[in-house]
Structure 1
Amino acid sequence: MGWRLKGYAKRRSGPPVSVREVSRAQFLAIRPLFDAEDNPWLVDMHEVGGEIRPRVEQVLGALDPEQDYYVTGYQLDWDKDPVQVARDLLDVRFPLATAAFLGGSVAAGTYTANSDLDMVVIVDDLAHAFRETLEHRGWPVELFCHTIESFQDFVVRDTKDRRPPLLHMCAEGFLMLDADGTGARMRAEARALLDAGPPLANVTELEDRRYGTTDLLEDLIGARDEDERLFVAARLLTCVGELALVVENRWLGHGKWLLRRLRDAKEDELVDSYRALVRGEGAERFIAVVEHVLASAGGRLEAGYRRAAPPR
């Protein structure tokens, strides 16, 4: 449900001369001031006594004395307004939530007919953290529900893995609900952690990534079957892309998010050379780019490399 404040001219009939959107918070703030039944209609405001009108104006802003005002309810166009769908889901499922974020393509304004609603919801008395896939008013939804403590635990784990989706959703998403300041604090902390970057890679991690990239590169160079070359190149793209980001101490991502991280890092040549391989233009350019990334990380790990297994 949404609300609008409509103003009608006092001295003539006809359609409203002014219309404003009224938020849920504004509606809830003025609703107790009126002696009306529990429905989305409020009494006309020209009948409101002088002691109430200033309180209404504190919430809704100045009202023109030459207009009679009504606050009217209306059904939102759920199919076209994903933010309102997300807000409605909060009202239905999590009325006691203290903070909620809407992330992904919807928050960025780039959503399509196939997009879903990615939501982080903070509830103080949640028995345990969970994720849930559901549908609400025709929209697919991915819920990530946490207490503050479980949220922080997941962030620590994801940060070590260099893939912190919760931080990105909170820092870059739309803050839909902030009941007590929790949401604002989470946003600020998430932004600071993202800006600080992931932990520096240690020697073992770099060696593992160099080893895996070297192995796949050799497979690609030696491939004679065109289909094998495509499969090896796809795997190699991910490995070398992650290696390039780790060398620059940047965040990682899966699937389309890896591509976006590479674009942020200006690694266009890696993507372009892979695209050329897929188009059948040969693997030489892609191989050269992989060699360059390996060199920036310390080079190939080939004959003579040895590492002892950790003690049991």
Structure 2
Amino acid sequence: MNKHNPMEVAQKFVHKYFPNCNGALLAGSVVRGEATNTSDLDIVIFDDTVPSSYRESFIELDWPIEVFVHNASSYKPFFESDRERARPSLPRMVSEGIILRDDGVIESIKKEAAELLNEGPEKWSEEIVQIKRYFLTDTLDDFIGCSNRAEEIFIANTLAELLSEFVLRTNHCWIGTSKWIVRSLLAYDEDFTNQFVEAFDTYYKTGDKGKVIHLVEVVMEPFGGRLFEGFSIGK
């Protein structure tokens, strides 16, 4: 099925549902040129008449639409929360978004989002690095010692997430989940990403753990390698 033009659909959507909003942006995969047959439209609305932020889903002209509605100040806690968790979902949407409507509010919010993205997430403290190193070690040991294929698969999933988080946060980079793990890694280092994907792909296809184990150990080596003995938390 050929879908209607996303820009035209977004414009009609805003006119129909938010005719008096102060600003609107089209963001997401269609803006980045990464849309697939199952992609939706991400639309960010700024409307001073709404009392608080909310999110809602629609189907309009064959397009699934996710709308993120904020007033002049309600987006700020979301920006801060995204910065704290190092996953800049809303700032990224605002920064990359194509303007659908603007009565003069969008420029300053876009600038705020771009500055947040450029600053990167808060640097991990030495204590957090050690805690993350410990749990990465613990999961790696589980992975190495496991002989149950079903359990191994899900340990590998956890290991991939912990490893990507460790690499990105110790290099002061934003992190992600699901497809954004790979996208975040690519933004950091393409060569490392290729090694990361190859290591886990090899494991999932063949059951060979060697490349995954080696990659985790290489990543932890500059921080002292595996950590178990002597680790304490809450003592």
Q: State the TM-score bracket (shorter-chain normalisation).
A: over 0.9
Partner of residue 110 from structure 1, selected from 28, 34, 37: 34
Which residue does the alignment assign to 2:12? 88
Which residue does the alignment assign to 2:221? 295
Q: Number of residues paired by the alignment? A: 231
> Secondary structure of the residue that 1:127 maps to in structure 2?
coil
Q: How far apart are residue 277 of structure 1 and its match?
A: 0.8
Which residue does the alignment assign to 1:27? none
Q: How far apart are residue 299 of structure 1 and its match?
A: 2.6
How many Å separate the matches in 1 of 2:136 and 2:93?
A: 30
Return closer, same or farther for 1:94/1:297 CA change in 2, 3 Å cut-off.
farther
Which residue does the alignment assign to 1:255? 178
Kindly provide the amino acid, as one letter, of the partner of residue 97 in structure 1: C
- Conserved 8 A contact 2:134-2:231: no
Q: How far apart are residue 281 of structure 1 and its match?
A: 5.5
Q: TM-score, length-normalised on structure 1?
A: 0.71
Per-residue displacement from partner, 1:246-269 (whole Å, max 9, x unpaired)? 010000111101110011212221
Determine if the alignment matches structure 1 residue 241 to structure 2 residue 167.
no
Partner of residue 193 from structure 1, selected from 97, 101, 116: 116
How many Å separate the matches in 1 of 2:150 and 2:77?
A: 42
How many Å separate the matches in 2 of 1:278 and 1:228?
A: 13
Which residue does the alignment assign to 2:21? 97
Equivalences for residues 41-190 of structure 1 within 5 A: 79-180=3-104, 182-190=105-113
Per-residue displacement from partner, 1:162-186 (whole Å, max 9, x unpaired)? 0110110111221222122x11221
- Between 1 and 2, higher relative CO (CA 8 Å, sep ≥ 6) is seen in 2
More helix by share: 2
- Conserved 8 A contact 2:146-2:152: yes
- Conserved 8 A contact 1:108-1:173: no
How many Å separate the matches in 1 of 2:115 and 2:204?
A: 39
How many Å separate the matches in 2 of 1:93 and 1:80?
A: 18
Equivalences for residues 20-59 of structure 1 within 5 A: none
Which residue does the alignment assign to 1:275? 201
> Secondary structure of the residue that 1:279 maps to in structure 2?
helix
Q: How far apart are residue 103 of structure 1 and its match?
A: 1.2
How many Å separate the matches in 1 of 2:182 and 2:124?
A: 20
Kindly provide the amino acid, as one letter, of the partner of residue 233 in structure 2: R
Flag structure 2 segments of 5+ consecutive residues without an equivalent: none
Flag structure 1 segments of 5+ consecutive residues without an equivalent: 1-77
How many Å separate the matches in 1 of 2:204 and 2:228?
A: 27
Return closer, same or farther for 1:287/1:144 CA change in 2, 3 Å cut-off.
same
How many Å separate the matches in 1 of 2:28 and 2:75?
A: 18
Residues 257-266 or 292-301, more deviating: 292-301
How many Å separate the matches in 2 of 1:288 and 1:233?
A: 14
Structure with larger Rg: 1
How many Å separate the matches in 2 of 1:97 and 1:108?
A: 24
Which residue does the alignment assign to 1:210? 133
Q: How far apart are residue 206 of structure 1 and its match?
A: 1.9
How many Å separate the matches in 2 of 1:254 and 1:214?
A: 20
